[in-house]
Chain A
Amino acid sequence: MAADPTLPTAASTRNTPEPFPRSRRWQPVFAFWATQYKRTWQGNVVSRFLMPVMFLLAMGLGLGSLVDSSSGGVDGMPYLQYVVPGILAAQSMWVAMGESSYTVLGAIRWQMQYHAMLATPIGVADILIGHIGWVASQIALATGIFLAVGAAFGAWASWWVLLALPLTVLTGLAFTVPVFAFAATQENDAGFSIMFRFVMTPLFLFSGTFFPLDQLPAFLRPIAWVTPLWHGVDGNRDLATGSPDWLHLLGHTAYLLLVVVVTGWLAYKAFRRRLVV
């Protein structure tokens, strides 16, 4: 029987890495999620890319032809140009909520990747920033692709639509960050299906994506104003149709930022409570 290879035991052979600066500790977290993604991107990229395109075709062109022939479009513009900026904002919500629900709970409870990270010099804030940064990059990617596809179908009336990229990423973050906070309080995934059914779907259908808010009963409109999605939809539409009202846009941006900051603080607290015990 051969001898086992001997383990290095002398202190001189140890290879302790140099401590690295605090400000860069989120980067390995970001890199970790990117590595994970490399294993699963195929199915994901197709559904993420095709879903909004299908909605564009079905709603913008198919349904659009009905709307345009019945009422001559919405507010004087073809339905395609009306609805596609809304779908752009809605898709950032899909990506945001999809990427931050099961994954976050899994990293806390099932695969426990967060716990593994916390056993290293990485801290709770680094985990949050790195992971949210990763989701933001995914939203940016999906938005960029969709902007190009929309252009091919003539869905944008103005170059100002390029500014919709940062606004859409911000809209997505206004969903990502609260969902992080929510996921960190959950014991199992039952709450997510409730969230998708009673938050995501109603927002998608009633936040001015498909028809102007004034079609809603008056008492429902203020609810739409509070949701991040309406701010993204309305801002995107302003930019894409080439008539940006800068004061409005400033308001939308400020509101979305407020949501991100407040829920970011809640998420940090929830993560600490869950992971540092």
Chain B
Amino acid sequence: MTIRTAAPAAPRPGVVSRLARVLPIPAGAGMARILVERNAMAFRHGWIAFVTGLAEPILYLFSLGVGLGALVRTVTTDGGSVVSYAEFVAPALLAAAAMNGAVFDSTFNVFFKLKYAKLYDSVLATPLGPRDVAVGEISWSLLRGAFYSGAFLLVAVVAGMVHSWWALLALPAANFISFAFSAVGMFATTFMRSWVDFDWINLAIQPLFLFSATFFPLATYPSGVQWLVQVTPLYHGVALERGLMLGEVGTGLLVHVAYLAVLGLVGLVGAARRVERLLLS
């Protein structure tokens, strides 16, 4: 305890932090990536739960794609092409995997850190600010979502369910899905009072999973319901992934990207503001 370390150098802000600065968002020190580093360190102690999360979408892929696929045979997509059921459902499950991975991390894990571990209390006693907390956690969810969707895509390709080179873009597209859902998920989490409130998260996620043109095309829905489906976020993720993985590409896909990006930014700003309100009162 006699050596005095040099005064900490002023940290250089990361790319995401610099982007976040243009938003009307509470202060930060541009050091969100340190929080990502902290999560990566914690992940080394809990990787089993992380990696096994991959099992669910893959099980769904084989159950529905192969087992049910034998009953359904072919599907006419909303884009007009006729494909096997496995090819039809794989992009939707990829989108759902990106959503689930992001939501799990930004809701359950963030709630635990916020209310029980008091992680952000200790982070905010350092130069980091609420913006760093929001950007850091959402970036981490993004990485996690990217891991799940990447591994899922690989399985789908190996199983012969993907035939278009556009599918290479499915991964960056999945990042937009993760971003939108992790940001909104974290925002929603800041309003939670106890674990009981998480029933509401399930209640939001389940219908999105089942009714976003995931398992059957939009044309199957009654026409009065179709517009409702088209307003919901996962629908845009599914439509984006399906367009890319089936090679039905058009400028319309950019609408889906824009929808997800805007949703994500709104969630990010909201989350940072709520963290500030909750912890810096």
Contacts and interface: CB of A to CB of B under 8 A. Distances in A.
Interface of A: 40, 43-44, 46-47, 50-51, 54-55, 57-59, 62-63, 65-67, 70-71, 74, 79, 190, 193-194, 197-198, 201-202, 205-206, 210-211, 215-216
Nearest to A51: B206
A211 B206 CA distance: 21
A46 B197 CA distance: 12
Nearest to A196: B56
Interface in B194-210: 196-200, 202-203, 206-207, 210
A213 B74 CA distance: 21
13 contacts: A43-B199, A43-B200, A54-B211, A67-B68, A67-B71, A190-B49, A193-B49, A194-B52, A197-B56, A202-B59, A206-B67, A215-B67, A215-B71
B220 interface: yes
Interface residues of B, number: 36
B162 to A, nearest CB: 21
B203 A50 contact: yes
Given A43-B196, A43-B197, A197-B56, A210 B67 contact: yes
Contact of A63 (B49, B73, B200, B216): B216
A47 B203 contact: yes
Contacts of A201: 55-56, 59-60
B210 A66 contact: no
Contacts of A63: 68, 72, 215-216
Judged by DSSP, the binding face of B is helix
A58 B202 CA distance: 16
Contacts of B164: none
A54 B203 CA distance: 10
B227 interface: no
Nearest to A64: B216
Contacts of B221: 62
A55 B59 contact: no
Contacts of B203: 43, 46-47, 50
Given A43-B196, A67-B68, 13 more contacts: A40-B196, A46-B199, A46-B203, A47-B203, A51-B206, A66-B220, A67-B72, A71-B71, A198-B55, A201-B56, A206-B67, A210-B67, A210-B68
Contacts of B171: none
